[in-house]
Each structure stands twice: as structure tokens, then as C-alpha cells.
């Protein structure tokens, strides 16, 4: 006899595991749901509702952790920690549909979170960076010229980029803003590439007019460092083109963001930011399946903040939206490795990408497409082999 730990992170893996055991097909789905355990954190639940959740959880073989004063009703609201297998949580969710105090709505929210487990986290997308700026921190204007930009565009496709993110305004710390006219002037030369691109194109801009110009040529993603805050027209542009949108957290502006940034709790601040921005998008007609989150590595962050974000990425994947991380070549890597020149930070960039992928990140925004994709492909193969072990 031999006992070993098996890591199962989604229902696709779970179904494969129970199938290999030889479980009958009739019960494979329900057995798979019993193999994955998670804890749901539910905020601001009224005490009477928290009591109901606790009683239902107990009846389903688990429990709910609530504030000590919930039972006596001495507290208005409580955070609830609800642990259980996917099967148990689904049954609890069904029971909540029949309950008062807004628990029917909570049931729907729980179902959305649980649906994340239907998606395999073993897949990743590589977003290649193409800066057509004269002052990019990473490549110093290498692709500012039309010929160079075209060559790099097709080179990244050949290297395996799944998405190409085109930006015509630098957002490096201390960079100055440029006009809409200047940004569009830099982009015009690439419009034919956007129209004929075999991979999705992301436009890296916070200006609605620039985004609309790129979307009208075939771009399908808006990568907005301000998360739709710097141009009030942007949300209408995203909605009207039904494009995907990357909501990135940034403290301050590119000019000021690295001037003594400070957080009491960087994780909680970003979580609150995401909640507000997600609500904003949904209330303005942007569909859930169009939203991508980005915690904004290096945008108004100290070294300790960037490391904290990376080590707690699961806090952001728990929202159920795709998570994008863009840490490639950034200065925090140089502070760790001692490499001042961005192009010499390849090894640190790959290490960050691999770690992010293992933590559930699905989109990696990188400058070194081939090297990063190769590294992640090896990690993915190892993970797949471990599942079948």
C-alpha cells in the first residue's frame, strides 16, 4: 500500500482522476465534485442570514465560520468563511435559493465562483509587447520605426504570441503624457497589421479616441492602465465594440506613481479597487466575459508591494475573471538581481512568469515571447504528467 498527495485544481482534472480509478460513468461527475475542497469568503452578511448559512452548512456535513456575536444577534454583519467540497457547496447554494435576507442572490454569486472550477488552469496565453514609442523603459525605442515595428510584430507571431499588445505612449515611471493626435500618428503605420493580424490585438491606451481607432481596425482588447478612469468616454467605446478590457490597478499616474507610494495593505486595496471597477463595468453594460484583471506590477508599487502581490495572486484569481500579470523586465526584478539594464532581466522575468502561471494567472504580458512560452510549455508538460501519474 502507498499513500501520496494528489493535487486537483479543477473539475477537468477531477473527472480524469475518478475515471482512472474506475468509477462508473453514472457517478463520475458527482464524485469529481467531491474531490475538490475550497473555502468561500463571503463579506457583510447580516447576522440572521449568517445563522441560516451556518445551519445549512452543518446539515450538509460541513460548517460555516462566523463572528462570535452572530448567534446572539449582537452584531449587524459578519464575514462568513464557508469551507467544503464543490459538491457540498453546490448543495448549500441550492438550499440558499429558498431562504430570505437576500440569500437567493448570494446563491447566484456562489454559483459564479464555483463555475471557475469548470475551467482548467493549465492553459496560458502569451501577450507579446510591442511598444512603438521612442522612450519605452524596456527597449528604448527599438520599434519606434515602421520597419522595425513590422518586423517585431511578425517575429512575435512566429515565436508563438497568442495576443499582441500594441502601445504608442510610454507609461514608464516619470513619463510625460502625449496628445491623442501624437498617439494616433504613431499607431497609423500599424493599422494594416492590426487588420490582417492572425492573432488578437490589444491596444494599450487609456484614451477612448485611440482605443476606438484601433478597435475599428480589428483590435479586440483594450488594455487600459487607468481601468477606464482617465477618459470617461472609454467605457462607452468598450461597450459599443463589445471588446475585452483589461482593468489594471495603478496608484497615481505614470508621472507620479513611483514618488513614495505607500499602502497599509496592498492586497486589500487592490481587491477593493477591483470590486469597484468590476461593478462599474457591469453597471455600464460591459459583459462579465469581457473583463480581465491586472494587479499592476510596478505601477505605484514598491519592491515589497510587488512581491506581496505575486505571492498572493490567488486573492485576485478568486474573482473568477482571467488574471493578467505584466512583470516582464521591470525594475523590481533588477533590484533583486542587481541588473540595471532591462534587457538583462530575462531570467528574472521568466521566473516571475512561471510562478504567476503556477498561481493561476492565465495571461502573461511579456517582451521575450519565445523564451517565456518555452519555459511555460515545459512547466505545463510537467503538470500534465503529474496529473496522469
Chain segment 102-136, per-residue pLDDT in tens: 899 999 889 888 876 664 444 799 999 999 987 66
Mean of pLDDT over the chain: 88
- The Cβ of residue 76 has, within 10 Å, a number of other Cβ atoms equal to 10
What was the pLDDT predicted at 27?
78
Does the active-site annotation cover 12? Answer: no
Residues facing residue 223 across a β-bridge: 204, 246
What are the pLDDT digits (tens) for 20-37?
Answer: 788 887 778 888 888 888
Q: What is the C-alpha to C-alpha distance for residues 271 and 110, in angstroms, rounded to an integer?
A: 18
Question: Backbone phi, then psi, for 9, in 5-degree steps?
Answer: -110, -10
What are the pLDDT digits (tens) for 364-388?
Answer: 999 999 999 999 999 988 877 765 5
Q: What is the C-alpha to C-alpha distance for residues 243 and 234, in angstroms, rounded to an integer?
A: 11
Are 301 and 330 in contact, with CB atoms under 8 Å apart?
Answer: no
Find the catalytic residue in 330, 345, 359, 373.
330
Does the active-site annotation cover 6? Answer: no
Q: What is the C-alpha to C-alpha distance for residues 139 and 346, in angstroms, rounded to an integer?
A: 13
Amino acid at each position: 500500500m502507498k499513500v501520496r498527495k494528489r493535487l486537483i485544481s479543477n473539475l477537468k482534472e477531477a473527472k480524469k482522476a475518478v475515471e482512472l480509478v474506475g468509477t462508473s460513468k453514472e457517478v463520475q461527475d458527482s464524485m469529481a465534485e467531491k474531490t475538490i475542497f475550497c473555502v468561500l469568503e463571503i463579506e457583510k452578511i447580516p447576522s440572521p442570514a449568517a445563522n441560516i448559512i451556518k445551519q445549512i452548512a452543518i446539515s450538509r456535513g460541513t460548517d460555516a465560520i462566523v463572528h462570535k456575536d452572530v448567534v446572539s444577534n449582537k452584531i449587524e454583519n459578519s464575514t462568513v468563511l464557508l469551507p467544503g467540497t464543490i459538491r457540498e457547496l453546490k448543495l448549500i447554494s441550492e438550499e440558499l435559493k429558498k431562504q430570505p435576507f437576500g440569500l437567493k442572490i448570494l446563491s447566484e454569486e456562489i454559483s459564479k465562483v464555483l463555475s471557475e472550477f469548470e475551467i482548467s488552469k493549465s492553459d496560458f496565453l502569451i501577450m507579446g509587447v510591442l511598444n512603438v514609442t521612442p522612450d519605452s523603459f524596456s527597449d528604448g525605442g527599438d520599434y519606434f520605426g515602421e520597419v522595425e515595428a513590422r518586423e517585431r510584430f511578425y517575429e512575435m507571431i512566429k515565436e508563438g504570441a497568442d495576443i499582441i499588445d500594441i502601445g504608442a505612449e510610454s507609461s514608464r515611471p516619470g513619463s510625460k503624457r502625449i496628445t491623442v493626435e501624437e498617439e494616433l500618428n504613431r499607431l497609423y503605420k500599424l493599422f494594416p497589421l492590426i487588420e490582417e493580424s492572425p492573432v488578437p490585438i490589444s491596444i494599450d491606451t487609456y484614451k477612448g479616441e485611440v482605443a476606438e481607432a484601433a478597435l475599428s481596425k480589428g483590435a479586440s482588447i483594450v488594455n487600459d492602465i487607468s481601468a477606464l478612469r482617465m477618459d470617461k468616454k472609454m467605457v462607452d467605446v468598450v461597450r459599443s465594440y463589445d471588446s475585452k478590457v483589461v482593468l489594471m490597478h495603478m496608484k497615481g499616474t505614470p508621472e507620479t506613481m513611483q514618488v513614495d507610494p505607500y499602502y497599509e495593505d496592498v492586497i486589500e486595496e487592490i481587491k477593493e479597487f477591483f470590486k469597484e471597477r468590476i461593478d462599474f463595468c457591469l453597471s455600464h453594460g460591459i459583459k462579465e466575459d469581457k473583463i480581465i484583471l491586472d494587479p499592476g506590477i510596478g505601477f505605484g508599487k514598491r519592491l515589497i508591494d510587488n512581491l506581496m502581490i505575486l505571492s498572493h495572486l490567488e486573492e485576485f484569481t478568486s474573482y473568477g475573471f482571467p488574471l493578467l500579470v505584466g512583470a516582464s523586465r521591470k525594475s523590481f526584478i533588477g533590484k533583486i538581481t542587481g541588473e540595471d539594464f532591462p534587457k538583462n532581466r530575462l531570467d528574472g522575468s521568466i521566473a516571475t512568469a512561471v510562478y504567476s502561471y503556477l498561481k493561476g494567472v492565465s495571461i502573461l504580458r511579456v517582451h521575450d515571447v519565445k523564451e517565456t512560452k518555452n519555459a511555460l510549455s515545459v512547466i505545463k508538460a510537467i503538470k500534465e504528467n503529474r496529473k496522469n501519474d
